[in-house]
Structure 1
Amino acid sequence: MPDLESSYSRGTVPNIYHPTIELNNKSISTILTARKQQLDVVLREISDVESIMDGIKNFHQQLVEQKEKIIQSTTFHKGLGSALWRLPTEVLSHIFHYCLPEDDMSPTSNQAPLLLTRICRPWRDVAVNTPSLWCQLHVEIDLNRAGEEDVMECFDDYWEEDVEADDRVWQQAAFFHDSWLTRSRGCPLSLVLWRYPSTKLLKNLLQPYMHQISSLSIAFPRGAERPLLLLEGLSTLRELVIEDVESSEILDITKSISQLPSTMRVLDVMQITLGIDHVSSLNPVLAHLTHVKITLLHADALLQLLRLCPNLSSLTLQVYPSEKTLKPIMHANIQSFHMGDCGGSMMAVNLLLANLFDALSLPNLRIFKGNCPRDRPWPHKQLKDLFARSKCPLESLIFTGGVTAEAVPQAEYLALIPSLDIVANPGINVFW
């Protein structure tokens, strides 16, 4: 430690007005030069010590990482003694199916099946070679954001080219989706087409797999060019959900739906409103349908629908009120009838439902579910008459939308069908 004392520091601090120590400029300059040299030495020593400390920190971090790798390796090799690693491939593949998300089909690296490819090489081999794990896919391609690098890296042949940003995002997304679908190896596909930059580009991407698509949920972007391309070539389609479409294109869409193959069984068009002309334009595919979810502009469109859907077993319906008188109609195969919320005033809705129930006969009905808002009239008499007239084997009567159990004349329904299970769910407003 250098001696920092001087003849000046040992004395009283000088007073510029009443000096008690005679100042010598040359002596002070010498002291300052010495202090600068001393400071330079200390700074160099501090730098040397900091370098040593950084080296120690880096070495410590390396040791910590090495420790973690040793622990991971130990855990892995201990696990090799577990029966899990001796499971036959078929059993492990079956277990992997229970890891798939139930609803969300969006591909993410922290969910199966992609997650299963990142655990270890044996699991990756099983996952990649199990086609049924790759049969569901949610397509949402947003050119305004970069691709999901961690998702892309789940594929061995991941690459990136130096191209324009939009083209790079599309090329990466196209490569990813094609790689995913290739792993399905001909199995039936369930696809959700939600967001995409070009109908033509998407159709080119999906073209090799169109014959595999058995379930398709699709939203048509505003202003999309030639949206009907995506409804062509679906030779094995069983289920179609239309999420969104411009009103000016509804008729063209329904005409395209009418040309779908005889394999079609399920149609969901709840998100668009169809009139009687739209319903008529859906023929001949309606003849093959067993499950329909639909929103109708008028009740007479429902009668047309029932006439054109002889094999219908499940119907979920929303219909807007009208004052038209409905002709009686009987449908022999409907087993499940879900009546949704109807827009309009309370009296108009009540009149609509009363007229509708008066017109229908459903001799095979087993489940009826109706949206019955709290404090809104509901035509229970006409509904009971429907059940009595139909002589149906009704098992469940469910009311949603806010109605309380006390507001439902349960005794009258039970007098008609003693074995009937009646449920009122006041907290539930929707049922599909």
Structure 2
Amino acid sequence: MLSELAADRTRVADLDVEILALERSLSASRIQRAQVQERLDAYKYPVLTLPNEIIAEIFIHYLPNYPHCPPLAGLESPTLLTQICRKWRGIALSTPALWRAISLPDPDIPPAEQGALLEAWLGRCRVHPISLRFHVYSEPGELGTEILTAIGPHRTRLQYLVLNQISLPQLLTFEGPISVLRHLELLLEDQEHPLVIKLSFCDSPLLRTALLNANGVESTMMPWAQLTSLALHEFFPADCAPILQHTLNLVHCELALVEDPNHEHVPDVTLPSLRSLTLTHILKADSITGYLQTLTLPGLRSLRVPETFLGPNPIDTLKSFVSKSGCKLERLCVTGTRSGFDSFYPMAFPSTKISFAQWAMSSVDWIITEFGDARELEELSATASE
């Protein structure tokens, strides 16, 4: 018994020594930690030393170039910038330019939340002009009505407006002058009962570029004479002429044509300022021959055309068109060429840069892709007018 007590006393003494050693080691570690933390506290991250205005400018460059729209959440969204730190959140929320381009609906966000997000973004961008893209490839339903109703009070700030597959009654949300509107894409869904009163965009003095389908044209009044870039989607050739006859200032034009089963007469059209023309077809039309010959384009520099549009003698058709127009083609792209026939084009047009594509894309997505960069179109128009 006495021996066990002696052993325990010895063990306690040994543990006291170990505890003392550990306490000294812990004390030393705490001193070292304090020294390291002091150095960290004294260090200033370069980005945090920048003025708020510079950080805000960096944030703007993080987003897709305006008027292209970032997603509502995730990468390339201004929402992500609010989740890094308190300072960045404050800067992001107080930078209106981050919130001025809005694309809806977002498939990754519950529909019930998107109306509130739209209201938040519209509030954060304050009085800045807006780029709004509303793409719906199915029935928009209540979500579409809610979104379009929310944007209505901010209509006068719309600068770039894309509406895809909305109904004609929903279009009335945008009734009234839109003085800062520069670019309009309007692809309306089919409707049994068209609007009795057309929506007018004639009070949009800055409007220069437009993409429209037949329902869009029938439901609106457009300032055709001031447009410099125009795309028409799914039109009969004869239906294009009355529009183009009023667009004498066009610089860039894209026509997605549908073969007319009635083969109506196509009136001649002269576009003196046109520099770039793209023709394609919708619904796999076998051919729309003869249409190019109805156009006189003295300023044309770039032409993209399906070979089926040129008839059985495409080289002769192109030569006749160029001669009639008196234009100097710099670029020619022929789509859907016959095998072994490509070599004849460079021989016939030695001073023109020739290219070929085996098939002509015929969906509206192609037109939007080619036509959608409003900045490039405005630059093209400005260059042509110099």
- TM-score, with structure 1 as normaliser: 0.63
Q: Name 1:181's counterpart in structure 2.
A: 122
- Is 1:341 aligned with 2:281? yes
User: 2 CA distance for matches of 1:313 and 1:252?
Assistant: 31
Find the aligned partners of 2:275 and 2:152 in 1 and give their Cα distance: 37
Query: Are 1:255 and 1:281, in contact at CA under 8 Å, matched by a contact in 2?
Result: yes
Q: Relative to 1, partners in 2 of residues 1:382 and 1:320: Cα closer, same or farther, differing over 3 Å?
A: same
Say whether 1:216 aligns with 2:151: no
Picking from 132, 140, 143, the partner of 1:191 is: 132
Amino acid at match of 2:355: V
1:117-156 to 2 correspondence within 5 Å?
117-140=82-105
Cα distance change on mapping 1:118 and 1:405 into 2, 3 Å: farther
Among candidates 354, 359, 363, match of residue 422 of structure 1 = 354
Shift, 1:107, TM fit: 0.5
What SS is found at the alignment partner of 1:133? helix
CA contact (8 A) 1:203 1:229 kept: no
Matched residue, 2:319: 384
1:18-417 → structure 2 map (5 Å cutoff): 81-101=44-64, 105-140=70-105, 170=112, 172-194=113-135, 195=140, 197=142, 201-221=146-166, 226-235=169-178, 236-248=180-192, 251-252=194-195, 255-257=198-200, 259=202, 261-269=204-212, 272-273=213-214, 282-322=220-260, 323-343=263-283, 346=286, 349=287, 352-353=288-289, 355-372=290-307, 379-401=314-336, 407=342, 409-415=344-350
- With over 3 angstroms needed to count, the CA separation of the structure-2 counterparts of 1:81 and 1:264, relative to structure 1, is same
* DSSP 3-state at the match of 2:192: helix
Aligned mates of 1:253, 1:87 — CA distance in 2: 57
| In 1: Cα distance, 2:226 partner to 2:338 partner | 36
CA contact (8 A) 1:258 1:281 kept: no
* 1:337 Cα deviation after fit: 0.5
Judged with a 3 Å threshold, the aligned counterparts in structure 2 of structure 1 residues 244 and 324 are, in CA distance, closer, same or farther, namely closer
Give 1:335 deviation, angstroms: 1.2
Deviations for 1:46-83, whole angstroms, at most 9, x for unmatched residues?
xxxxxxxxxxxxxxxxxxxxxxxx9xx98x95895343
Query: Separation in 2 of the partners of 1:79 and 1:393?
Result: 67
d(CA) in 1 for partners of 2:127, 2:143: 25
Q: Please state how far the C-alpha of 1:307 moved relative to its aligned partner.
A: 0.9
| Alignment check: 8 A CA contact 1:400 1:429 kept | no
- Give the deviation of 1:176 after TM superposition: 2.0
Judged with a 3 Å threshold, the aligned counterparts in structure 2 of structure 1 residues 410 and 123 are, in CA distance, closer, same or farther, namely same
Mapped to 2, the partners of 1:225 and 1:359 lie a distance apart of 32
Tell me the distance in 2 between the aligned counterparts of 1:254 and 1:397. Answer: 42
Amino acid at match of 1:299: P
Q: Offset of 1:302 from its aligned partner?
A: 1.9
Question: How many residues get paired?
Answer: 319
Distance 2:255 2:238 in 1: 13
- Matched residue of 1:365: which SS? coil
Offset, 1:253? 9.2
Q: Which moved more, 1:254-263 or 1:111-120?
A: 254-263
**1-side partners of 2:45 and 2:77: how far apart?**
22
1:288 CA drift (Å): 2.2
Query: Unpaired segments of 5 or more residues in structure 1?
Result: 1-69, 149-168
Percent identical residues: 21
Question: Measured at CA, do residues 81 and 394 of structure 1 come closer, stay the same or move farther in structure 2, by a change above 3 Å?
Answer: farther
The code of the aligned residue for 2:44 comes to: G
Which stretches in structure 2 are left out of the alignment for 5+ residues?
1-32, 368-386
What TM-score, normalized by structure 2, do the two folds share?
Answer: 0.70
Give how far 1:106 is off.
Answer: 2.9
Question: Would the aligned equivalents of 1:279 and 1:305 in 2 still touch at CA under 8 Å?
Answer: no
Q: Aligned partners of 2:244 and 2:275: how far apart in 1? A: 13
| Structure 2 CA distance for aligned equivalents of residues 253 and 80 of structure 1 | 68
Q: 1:324 to 1:205 in 2, by over 3 A?
A: closer
Counterpart secondary structure, 1:295: strand
CA gap of 1:181–1:404, structure 2 versus 1, over 3 A, is: farther
Deviations 1:259-284 (A, max 9, x none): 55333222212xx446xxx8577545
Retained in 2: the 8 A contact 1:317–1:339? yes
Task: For 1:404 and 1:125, locate their aligned partners in 2 and report how far apart those are by CA, in whole Å.
Answer: 61
